[in-house]
Chains A and B, each alone.
Chain A
Amino acid sequence: MTTLPTRRDEAWRYADIDAVARLWPLAAPERINVAAGDTAARHLIVDAAQGATEIRQFAINLDKGAKFDFHVLALGGAYGRIELDVILHEGADFNLGGVILGNDDQILEIVTTVNHVEPGATSRQTIRAVMADKATGTYLGKVAVARGAQHTDSVQSFKAMLLGRAATANAKPELEIYADDVKCAHGAAIGELDAMGLFYLESRGLTPADAKRLMLQAFVAGVFDGAEAEEELQAAALAKLGELV
């Protein structure tokens, strides 16, 4: 993208354009290439200083049969954006686990385009967001299946919890499909913590805050299971969750 995006660009619809403008022009996206048959993993914590902006863009290519696990955690900065453009060749496997934890006025986004350009590739995106105060958490995910990319198997799952009266969650789990023999599922759910679950925990003696924290912990915990640097991600997420409750 050579010109500053506006909110009319669907991928920037919920962005903090002023913050983007301050960083404009953006550096070229970081390139990740996983060679045929290779396996790679990566993790990223977007934890810009208070008031700062951080935009991380990746152009990821998975050659035939390559496998790539990416785990991301967005929790710092006034505006944080993680953007992935992924190309999957035949039989490649891409897994994204993302967690967005925001409070105050934070605007945090995960924006993905996963292109299944050849047959038999799989992709799985699991995003969980917990937003407190006046924070905004956004997941814009697009899975594009090219003509002929048969036997594509893709899943997008986005779930968000709002803790504050002024918090916002946005989602767009988009599918663009040009092949008929594919499995493409997406699900999105936005809500508050299950009241019955909270009561159950409290009836066993947990304070309301602890019950909430425990439920939220469980809500995001699974995303980082088996991740590279799992402990680092879990610890950072836990610390931020403590702030949110």
Chain B
Amino acid sequence: MTNIADTKNAEALAAANKVSDYEWGFSSDIEQEFAPKGLSEDTVRFISAKKNEPEWMLDWRLKAYRYWLTMETPHWAKLNIPPIDYQDAYYYAAPKAKKQLGSLDEVDPEILRVYEKLGIPLEEQKMLAGVEGARKVAVDAVFDSVSVATTFRKELEEAGVIFRSISEAIREYPEQVKKWLGKVVPMHDNYFAALNCAVFSDGTFVYIPEGVRCPMELSTYFRINAENTGQFERTLIVADKGSYVSYLEGCTAPMRDENQLHAAVVELVILDDAEIKYSTVQNWYPGDAEGKGGIYNFVTKRALCQGKNSKVSWTQVETGSAVTWKYPSCVLNGENSVGEFYSVAVTNNHQQADTGTKMIHNGKNSRSTIVSKGISAGKSNGTYRGLVKVAANADGVRNFTQCDSLLLGDQCGAHTVPYIEVKNPTAQIEHEATTSKISDDQLFYAMQRGLDQESAVALIVNGFAKEVLQQLPMEFAVEAQKLLGISLEGSVG
């Protein structure tokens, strides 16, 4: 194992040295420990053992693995992906076990440097540095596959909030985890979800007790750091009755020549009168201008609005990854429950994104809103794929969907595949879609006022995406606006 790790680290270092034009494309020199390459029951057992998991967890993983063997890769998305050799990847990489950390000071300085390069917002840097009076954002840092540090655990604990890596939670709160794990996204839900169930390495567990408004925004930074290491994060957030939490997820990935596989699962459970706001900015390495490299991102995100008056709001800004396959969805079982999906998806060069949402209305008077803004440039393809479904017993359902596409250049593609299935006569479903380009008049006008072309494009694109961006928490909104501009550099002119 150690030998492989050493070899890999040497390679990683070499790769890092080659990095040039991807701002965040660097590799960190941190000691790794790898599971054997390839996927088998032994890999699953290795991961489970590494994490000191109870037997029920291992059984659950093995069951999922056996499901996965019988399943096929979904073929319906508008994505052109070369076959993935699942035996040619590593399924577990962890920084070598160090003693339990008492405070951030004890975090490997290399990791802190990584955060810095990642451009973690200043406020959070201050938090990480322990500066007094900074706005509170708790960071459960997922470095590769293992959580290495958690801030503000104490204050959260005082509020009764459980904020743990999922491995810890499985050991410390087995009943809580067992109750909901796989209940929102069943292990046989889809190919990638089954894969995640079998080999997920770490992730986050959050529980907000009844009536508690989480005292700070929760944030997890994901990094993919080891060459050829799939990232299989697992997130489970449970909002008990009358509680509220805002969860921020942001991602960057270092540069790699080979495509990297990512198959995360996020499950949200929302009980009576509770609300979860889940925001994502995803800017993983999209591959180079020729379409070489980049992350394969197959994510299953789903929220179960189980309680009456429960609410979930997904906001995503997707600018990265070579391939995105992602449909954050809402199962609206509760009476008067509310589901929202706000999305900006940018594709450039050879990127492909097939993303959207499902709104499953089972509860009476449940309401949903979908706002999707797709921006395609270069030779990329962006697809919105959605489903709005109203069950026969769900009276008084309302949905409004707005799907807009912006095309930059004549070599890209923008596609919209909205399914609507309504079985109740009292439903009111509205869907609107438009397709546009940046007009020469707009560009000229902005440039005449003094903007260069790229700033003008960024300005117009940000205007196009404004409805979604303004759903983001402030520090994310700023980062996201910059990202839109960066992602589209060189796409016009």
Interface, chain A (partner B; CB < 8 A): 10, 147-148, 150, 160-192
Contact = CB atoms under 8 A, between A and B. Distances in A.
B131 interface: no
Given A165-B425, A190-B428, A185 B435 contact: yes
B431 A186 contact: yes
Nearest to B437: A180
A150 to B, nearest CB: 7
Contacts of A192: 425-428
A148 B425 contact: no
Nearest to A14: B421
Nearest to B407: A180
8 contacts: A166-B392, A168-B421, A171-B431, A172-B417, A175-B414, A175-B416, A187-B432, A192-B427
Contacts of A166: 392, 423
B324 to A, nearest CB: 18
Contacts of B436: 183
A194 B324 CA distance: 40
Interface of B: 76, 78, 392, 405, 407-437
Given A147-B410, A166-B392, A175 B422 contact: no
Nearest to A149: B410
Nearest to A148: B410
Nearest to A170: B421
B429 A188 contact: yes
B414 A177 contact: yes
Given A176-B415, A190-B429, A184 B435 contact: yes
Given A168-B422, A170-B419, A192-B428, 14 more contacts: A166-B423, A168-B423, A169-B422, A173-B431, A175-B414, A175-B415, A177-B405, A177-B415, A180-B408, A188-B420, A189-B431, A190-B422, A190-B427, A192-B426
A187 B431 contact: yes
Contacts of B434: 184-185
A12 to B, nearest CB: 13
A205 to B, nearest CB: 25
A10 B420 CA distance: 13
A164 B427 CA distance: 12
Nearest to A154: B435
A191 B429 contact: yes
B419 A172 contact: yes
Interface centre among B78, B411, B420, B426 (most CB of A within 10 A): B420
Nearest to A187: B432
Main secondary structure of the interface of B (DSSP, over half): strand
Nearest 6 pairs of A and B residues by beta carbon? A162-B425, A180-B407, A188-B431, A191-B428, A190-B429, A175-B416
A167 B425 contact: yes
B74 to A, nearest CB: 11
Contact of B413 (A168, A177, A191): A177
B437 A189 contact: no
A149 B148 CA distance: 53
A223 to B, nearest CB: 19
Contacts of B76: 10
A150 B410 contact: yes
A147 B413 CA distance: 9
Contacts of B424: 162, 165
B326 to A, nearest CB: 19
Contacts of B419: 170-172
A142 to B, nearest CB: 9
B410 A174 contact: no
Contact of A163 (B78, B425, B428): B425
B415 A188 contact: no
A127 to B, nearest CB: 13
Nearest to B395: A165
A183 B434 CA distance: 8
Contacts of B427: 162, 190-192
B373 to A, nearest CB: 14
Given A166-B392, A179-B410, A173 B433 contact: yes
Contacts of B432: 185-187
Contacts of A178: 412-413
Interface centre among B392, B421, B425, B429 (most CB of A within 10 A): B425
A190 B435 contact: no
A244 B433 CA distance: 31
Nearest to A179: B410
B169 to A, nearest CB: 38
A181 to B, nearest CB: 6
A179 B409 CA distance: 8
Contact of B409 (A162, A164, A180, A185): A180
A176 B413 contact: yes
Contact of B417 (A174, A179, A181, A183): A174
A198 B354 CA distance: 42
A169 B397 CA distance: 14
A176 B407 CA distance: 12
Contacts of B407: 177, 179-180, 182
Contacts of B410: 147-148, 150, 179-181
Nearest to A184: B435
B403 to A, nearest CB: 8
B429 A174 contact: no
A181 B415 contact: no
Given A148-B410, A166-B392, A177-B414, A182 B431 contact: no
Nearest to B400: A189
Nearest to B429: A190
Contacts of B412: 178, 180
B350 to A, nearest CB: 15
Given A10-B76, A184-B435, A189 B414 contact: no
Contacts of A188: 418, 420, 429-431
Nearest to A140: B419
Contacts of B421: 168-170
